[in-house]
Structure 1
Amino acid sequence: MKQKSIFEIVLMVVFFFFIAYAVLGFAGIAPLPGGGKDEENIYLGSVVIWGTAPSVAISDAIDAAGFEKKVKVSYVQKNTATFDRDLTEALANGVGPDIVLLSEDLILRYQNRIQPIPYATLPIDRFKALFIQEAELYLGNDGIAALPLTVDPMVMYWNRDLFSSAGIINPPTSWSQFIDEVVPKITMVDYGAKIKRSAIAFGEFDNVTHAKDIISLLILQAGNPIILVGADGALEVVLEERFGYDVVPAQEALKYYTQFSDPSQDVYSWNRSLPLSESAFLSSDLAVYFGYASEYKEMKRKNPHLNFDVADMPQREVGAKQKITFGKMRGLSVLKATKNPNAAFAAVMLMSGPDFISTVSRLMGVPPARKDLLSKKPEQENALFYQLALQSRAWLDPLPETTSAIFRGMTEDILSKRANFADTIETAARKLENALRIKR
């Protein structure tokens, strides 16, 4: 391949920043400089996006956006289970996409394949002013890994009939209320230790929908970020750290979670013989279900007669100063392998504008990741989802499948009494460190 001259490289860089700034202005991310209209009229070509989000939502939003005069964007929905393999093979054969719709748990996995957006184009303070706090997971040493579109916050679905029958007026706002009131009044266990009805599906892993995310949330609420990003960008597993607390936060979180599947505990409410927690909730055998905002309409469809409502995620204590829920976030990343970087960056920036994100948010049934859009709360249950979007947090997951196995192992070690809480957390920390090394 003929090597580009220094002049050609400099010219490309200057042209990129020229186009990028103009497009940022069009997307409402940066102000347009004087004379910006000419830059807006430049057609940059076409790009392809791969992602696992529903095609009907992304493609319809692209069609409605009206920026085809600047860049033509095509979206291809891929299977979640085969996405990584499909992308690796496509890139190896030189036929990969230009952009990927990246979830928060894939940031580390794909960081070497991503071309970050330079901070000279979009400064950190401007990024933080525009997007929710969880979006800061996309901030790296070399730039911004992705521009966020949506966030799907975890919420608490609760069965109104089961609560009212038990004489409980309001859903719990703190985890301690499950122990003090909800479990004693709702969970039913017969003399053979068979669970007839459950207040909460905690403790086990395989039959608890979103178990890994729930455990992650409890650890984050306890004050532990799981993996810490240092000032130099270095990643450190901190699962064993105390962070000034008397008890290791991760131990406290794991102890709370597993007690509900321990037959020797008064709060025993769940075991591995029971169905998947989502199914149990839909059949009114489970009082609360921790799921995502995106599940609301589907749950209504699956059981239109179920009398349920949506509430905030419980916190460590009533009136917690900092409320936290877990959020599944999606953002757009440009791949280094793109054959048209100017068009790819332009597409990402245009799709990060308020109009496009608002359309995608509505079509997907999840809140937007832009704070200016979250300030315009919709009616009914979506207003709560918007509030929880601002409270959403997550962590930098090195290898999602591997870490799922690690979290499963933590619950199994405790419930089988193979190890105590300190040893279990120590073992999990070593495994997370190994996963981080493999990722690197």
Structure 2
Amino acid sequence: MDNKKNIIQYAIMGIFILFIVIAVLIFSGAIKVGSNTPKGVSGSVTMWGTLQRSSIEELLREFNDQNKDYTVNYVQIAEANYESSLIDALASGAGPDIFMMPDDFIWKHFNKIYPIPYERITVRDYVDRYIDGVSIFRAPTAIFALPFTVDPLVMYYNRDLVSAAFYDKPPETWDGYYKFAFETTKRNEDQAIETSAIAFGAYDNILHAKDILSMLFLQTGNGITYFNGNTLDTDISVVPVGGNDPLTQSALVFYTDFANPATDFYSWNRSLNTDYDMFVSGKLAVYFGYASEVFGIRARNPNLNFDVAVMPQIKDSASQVTYAKYTGLAVSKQSKNPATAILVAEQMAGRDFQEKLTEITRLPPVHKALLVADPVDPYDGIFKKSAFISKSWIDPNPASTSTAYETLIEDVLSGRMSVADAINDFVSTLESIIAK
């Protein structure tokens, strides 16, 4: 009798332990019970972008394996043809469900986007989750795209040239660059520049002239443009007739000063090679380029002794700012499967996918929680700090505004206009571009 009782007790205990083990496995995710996929989410969605398919193929395969109820088909489009291909495909009704959207697509193509309502992702969640700069993808009424990548502007510097001028590293604030340029720039007997300290003051031979000057404006507190309801307005100070706007004017004056041959700190002119070519050939002390350029620089000149730093700032400024290029994941208004497309965009903008993506691209993540991770290489920490303080602006038409920036710089360099008049003309041009 006792043996029978013991057997029953052992059986009950075994069943109880089995239930505990199963429960643990279920909660740990080792055993899947049903589907966690929201109702209405299924099928296949197509995503377009410019990232190399070969570099993210394994990541996409893993993503599809983990999500059995739906799949993502990625199509790589050459960057040079990306915008035109996207416009043509959407016009013919054959466009993707999701497309990688550079931040300068926002104003031109927002009418092609299926907006994500704030009921889906609240402003609080968005702000807490992502770096401040990607708020450019948010409008007052909805979200245009979910953040995907950030490529911040950083300062590359030639250690040999900098140390030859008895600097440990270039100045951290702009006010130090007049002296730095004087002590670092080298000229020949004819006063032609042989080695330059800083590539400021021109447009055609400075690869990122528009972005650099935009950054200087942003550092002074000018947003350049902003959403006013559903319209776009300029947010850069107009100088009143006979008046003065020291911050806006000083940014433009500072940029153009280094192209003035009458000064001691003259260090750049239009006859020089591009700033990038000068830097990789060891003839430019500091080069302002994007984080994504680091491996290209190394490949061009494996012997170049260079390092990276956060972009210089305005002295005693309460905030720090650098420029960045952002990419978001936008859902097409034409998508026949928007519920699935939105979920996919959410997952790819999420922490897990972002962590794996940054390992591939070697760019800093847009997800704040990942920016506090230990640096994986000597440059990673600088790139992450730069992502934290990065900003951009809503460019209404990149080609037209590039011409406006070039005109702004040339008007000052040539003496055709005063700095104040050139800024006012620039603002008027921006307003005209927006109105078109």
TM-score between both structures, scaled by the size of structure 2: 0.87
Per-residue CA deviation, residues 106-149 of structure 1 (Å, 9 max, x unaligned), is 11111111011100111101110000101111111331111102
In the other structure, the counterpart of 1:145 is 144
Quick check: 1:240–1:248 contact (8 Å CA) kept in 2? Answer: no
Question: Which amino acid in 1 is paired with 2:193?
Answer: I
Q: Does 1:226 align with 2:224?
A: yes
In the other structure, the counterpart of 1:344 is 341
1:88 and 1:169 map into 2 onto residues whose CA distance is 49
In the other structure, the counterpart of 2:374 is 377
In the other structure, the counterpart of 1:162 is 161
| Structure-2 change in CA distance of 1:68 and 1:328 (3 Å) | same
Question: Which amino acid in 1 is paired with 2:337?
Answer: N
Question: Which amino acid in 2 is paired with 1:339?
Answer: K
Shift of 1:211: 0.9
Quick check: 1:159–1:307 contact (8 Å CA) kept in 2? Answer: yes
Q: Does 1:255 align with 2:253?
A: yes
Quick check: 1:41–1:70 contact (8 Å CA) kept in 2? Answer: no
Per-residue CA deviation, residues 235-263 of structure 1 (Å, 9 max, x unaligned), is 221323479x9634332211111111121
Quick check: 1:163–1:169 contact (8 Å CA) kept in 2? Answer: yes
2:426 and 2:66 map into 1 onto residues whose CA distance is 48
Aligned counterparts, 1:8-407, within 5 A: 37-39=35-37, 44-65=42-63, 66-180=65-179, 182-230=180-228, 232-241=229-238, 247-317=245-315, 320-379=317-376, 380-407=378-405
1:340 and 1:400 map into 2 onto residues whose CA distance is 31
| Structure-2 change in CA distance of 1:87 and 1:293 (3 Å) | same
2:227 and 2:91 map into 1 onto residues whose CA distance is 31
1:435 and 1:44 map into 2 onto residues whose CA distance is 41
Shift of 1:304: 0.9
Question: Which amino acid in 1 is paired with 2:363?
Answer: V
Per-residue CA deviation, residues 162-199 of structure 1 (Å, 9 max, x unaligned), is 1111111222101111112x111110123433111100
Quick check: 1:131–1:371 contact (8 Å CA) kept in 2? Answer: yes
Identity of aligned residues (%): 38
Shift of 1:53: 2.6
Quick check: 1:43–1:69 contact (8 Å CA) kept in 2? Answer: no
Quick check: 2:41–2:339 contact (8 Å CA) kept in 1? Answer: no
Shift of 1:67: 3.5
1:423 and 1:137 map into 2 onto residues whose CA distance is 29
Q: Which runs of 5+ in 2 are unaligned?
A: 1-32
Aligned counterparts, 1:417-436, within 5 A: 417-436=415-434
Deviates more, 1:200-209 or 1:65-74: 65-74
Shift of 1:401: 0.9
Quick check: 1:41–1:69 contact (8 Å CA) kept in 2? Answer: no
In the other structure, the counterpart of 1:29 is none
| Structure-2 change in CA distance of 1:36 and 1:108 (3 Å) | farther
Quick check: 1:173–1:315 contact (8 Å CA) kept in 2? Answer: yes
Deviates more, 1:215-224 or 1:50-59: 50-59
Quick check: 1:366–1:385 contact (8 Å CA) kept in 2? Answer: yes
1:131 and 1:342 map into 2 onto residues whose CA distance is 22
2:247 and 2:57 map into 1 onto residues whose CA distance is 43
Quick check: 2:113–2:333 contact (8 Å CA) kept in 1? Answer: yes
2:126 and 2:280 map into 1 onto residues whose CA distance is 40
Q: Does the residue aligned with 1:145 lie in a helix, a strand or coil?
A: coil
1:199 and 1:80 map into 2 onto residues whose CA distance is 32
Quick check: 1:193–1:263 contact (8 Å CA) kept in 2? Answer: no
Deviates more, 1:280-289 or 1:264-273: 264-273
Q: Does the residue aligned with 1:108 lie in a helix, a strand or coil?
A: helix
Q: Does the residue aligned with 1:107 lie in a helix, a strand or coil?
A: helix
| RMSD between aligned residues | 2.0
Per-residue CA deviation, residues 179-232 of structure 1 (Å, 9 max, x unaligned), is 12x1111101234331111000111111101111101001100111111333x3
Question: Which amino acid in 1 is paired with 2:119?
Answer: A
Question: Which amino acid in 1 is paired with 2:269?
Answer: N
Q: Does the residue aligned with 1:369 lie in a helix, a strand or coil?
A: coil
Q: Does the residue aligned with 2:150 lie in a helix, a strand or coil?
A: strand
Question: Which amino acid in 2 is paired with 1:63?
Answer: R
Shift of 1:265: 2.3
| Structure-2 change in CA distance of 1:40 and 1:69 (3 Å) | farther
